[in-house]
Amino acid sequence: MPATSPTLNVMILAARKAARDLRRDFGEVENLQVSKKGPGDFVSNADLKAEKTIFEELSHARPGYGFIMEESGVHEGKDKTHNWIIDPLDGTSNFLHGIPHFAISIALEREGQLVAGVVYNPVTDEMYYAEKGSGAYFNDKRMRVAGRSRLSDAVLACGIPHGERAGQDAFANEIKTLLPKVAGVRRFGAAALDLAYVAAGRVDGFWERGLSSWDMAAGVVLVREAGGVVTDLKNTSNFLETGDIIAANDVLHDRLLPELG
């Protein structure tokens, strides 16, 4: 693994520690005690344990930093310039169905700017990490977004609104518009990994509406440091507020925007 900063080391270690319990619980997924948090949106004991582990590790390493977490909400720190943005288990539905496609997502926000991100799949042991100005890495290899420039060559990842979530009609129109123009569309079920896949060049672009900040924050750093572009669907940088996101290389980003906007 390339030399990493003390901040990234702390984030990577926290992710690996939380992953131990997730791997064990994933192996016994049928025994998990699960409660419904909302339509199509589940929370498990594994989710809560992972968040607690990450919270304890990061609090010890960086006392005073604030936290924005999926399960526990906002914890204001004495240091008002730094916030950790955490999803302890992105892809919970995959996890609960025994599908090995989920991730721990940890981002650091400094003075309102996303400056570091880690996305880790505990089952495959795939670690994606990046820090602003230092590039993006997959395990020990430098990542770059794919270089394809034609929509007809592009394979895209997306999220599909489900259950009672709004936006299903809009998504149907987007798919109707895009499918004839692209090489394929994939729905994997974990936005953090979708963004990591864009950064790694595994898919050429990603879009979704209605996400939360913890779904996106770490992946945004990965894509940007891998040479990609991230905006909301109105081509602004307000994606953490709007929850709408599009990520790709610069050429594909500009070609996708009119199709999705």
Is residue 232 a known part of a binding site?
no
Nearest to 158 by CA among 128, 183, 194, 202: 194
Residue 209 has which token pair?
A: 């509406």
What is the SS3 assignment for 102? coil
Is residue 79 a known part of a binding site?
no
Q: What ranges in 36-188 are assigned the alpha helix state H?
A: 45-61, 92-96, 168-178
Is residue 179 a known part of a binding site?
no
**CB contact at 8 A, 89 and 102:** yes
Q: What ranges in 62-96 are assigned the alpha helix state H?
A: 92-96
CA angle 243, 233, 164 (to 5 degrees): 45
The DSSP element (H or E) to which 43 belongs, if any, is strand 41-44
Interior/surface letters 31-61, b for 16+ CB within 10 angstroms, e for the rest: eeeeeeeeeeebbbebbebbbbbbbebbbee
Is residue 169 a known part of a binding site?
no
Is residue 254 a known part of a binding site?
no
Residue 42: phi and psi, rounded to 5, are: -105, 155
> What residues are designated binding site for Mg(2+)?
70, 87, 89-90, 215
Q: Which residues are annotated as a binding site?
A: 70, 87, 89-90, 215
